[in-house]
Amino acid sequence: MDLRESFNNKGRLFVISGPSGAGKGTICGKVMERLGDTASLSVSATTRQPREGEVDGVNYYFLSKEEFEGRINNNGFLEYAEVYDHYYGTSRENVMDKLESGKDVFLEIDIQGAMQVKDSFPEAVFIFILPPSMEVLKARITGRNTDSEEVIDLRMSKAADEISYVEHYDYAVVNDDLETAIGDVMAIIRSEKIRTDFTGDELDEYISSFGDSIGNR
Ligand code: 5GP
């Protein structure tokens, strides 16, 4: 395996958050398409009802409250949170298995969950997707038309609070133009994959191979 490949061979964990309507789902979907099978978007478990068109095991694993609480008690979640009165969580085993197989894993999760990952997995990369303005966010949430007026208001007031957490993240990506935002996320991933603090043994071996080749002249 060549040096470049060996750097890319290590799975990294990327955590993506942002207020509802900021576009993180769309960005994650496009980024996954571009990364192909080197990356995997973690499928969360939730106790909320499936929306129209959502498929169990694809969009979420839809669990009952009892099933979810059972998994909490078995330490089955890398993180979990209660969002809008429903549980959402990331399976610890799924994430660890994928990372070990060398895949990059992406978690599209809320801030409470992201802060838990930061505590237990500080080497993860934290990306926050920002809407260009509150007006644009409101228009996006209203235009989506899947939620009631009450839910929209709840999401807007929550968004204002959530945005203040951007400082806890490593990167802030403004989703004013989708292509630019996707490009920003791709650039973050690319850069994170070649950080010297994650290239590890391969870089050490490379350095010593240079020393050896000079010694052998
Ligand atoms: P929705 O119900 O619209 O699919 O998601 C609502 C919120 O839950 C979003 O902010 C989404 O990022 C968050 N979410 C989805 N899956 C998880 C998860 O596994 N853990 C946490 N903490 N939040 C999640």
Q: What is the pLDDT of residue 151?
A: 83
Q: What is the pLDDT of residue 2?
A: 79
Q: If you average pLDDT over every residue of the chain, what do you get? A: 92
Task: Tell me the longest C-alpha to C-alpha distance in the chain.
Answer: 76
Q: What is the pLDDT of residue 216?
A: 65
pLDDT digits (tens, 9 = 90+) for 57-95: 999 999 999 999 999 999 999 999 998 799 999 999 999
- Which has the closest alpha carbon to 132: 23, 12, 17, 50? 23
Q: Answer positive or negative: Cα dihedral of 165, 170, 172, 173.
A: negative
CA of 146 relative to ligand 1 center, distance in Å? 16
Q: What is the pLDDT of residue 145?
A: 67
Contact status, residue 45 vs residue 89, Cβ threshold 8 Å? yes
Contacts of 167 (CB under 8 A, 6+ apart): none
**Ligand 1 binding pocket includes 18 (Cβ within 6 Å):** no
| Mean pLDDT in residue range 206-213 | 84
CA of 83 relative to ligand 1 center, distance in Å? 7
Q: What ligand 1 atom has the least distance to the C-alpha of 108? A: 12
pLDDT digits (tens, 9 = 90+) for 7-40: 767 799 999 999 988 999 999 999 999 999 999 9
Mutation pick for ligand 1 pocket among 90, 110, 130, 158 (CB with most ligand atoms within 8 Å)? 110
Q: What does pTM read for this prediction? A: 0.90
Q: What is the pLDDT of residue 99?
A: 94
| Mean pLDDT in residue range 109-133 | 96
Mutation pick for ligand 1 pocket among 42, 55, 109 (CB with most ligand atoms within 8 Å)? 109
Q: What is the pLDDT of residue 47?
A: 98
Q: What is the pLDDT of residue 153?
A: 87
pLDDT digits (tens, 9 = 90+) for 32-48: 999 999 999 999 999 99
CA of 197 relative to ligand 1 center, distance in Å? 30
**Ligand 1 binding pocket includes 109 (Cβ within 6 Å):** yes
201 has pLDDT over 90: no
Q: What ligand 1 atom has the least distance to the C-alpha of 77? A: 19
How many Cβ atoms sit within 10 Å of the Cβ of residue 110?
Answer: 21
Produce one character per residue of 7-37: b if its CB has 16 or more CB atoms within 10 Å, e if not.
bbebbbbbbbbbbbbbbbbebbebbeeebee
* Nearest CA, atom 19, ligand 1: 89
Helical spans, DSSP H, in the chain:
3-8, 24-35, 65-73, 92-100, 111-120, 134-144, 149-163, 178-193, 196-215
Contact status, residue 106 vs residue 186, Cβ threshold 8 Å? no
Confidence of residue 147 (pLDDT cuts 50, 70, 90): confident
Place of tokens 């909320």: 48
Q: What percent of the chain has pLDDT over 70?
A: 96
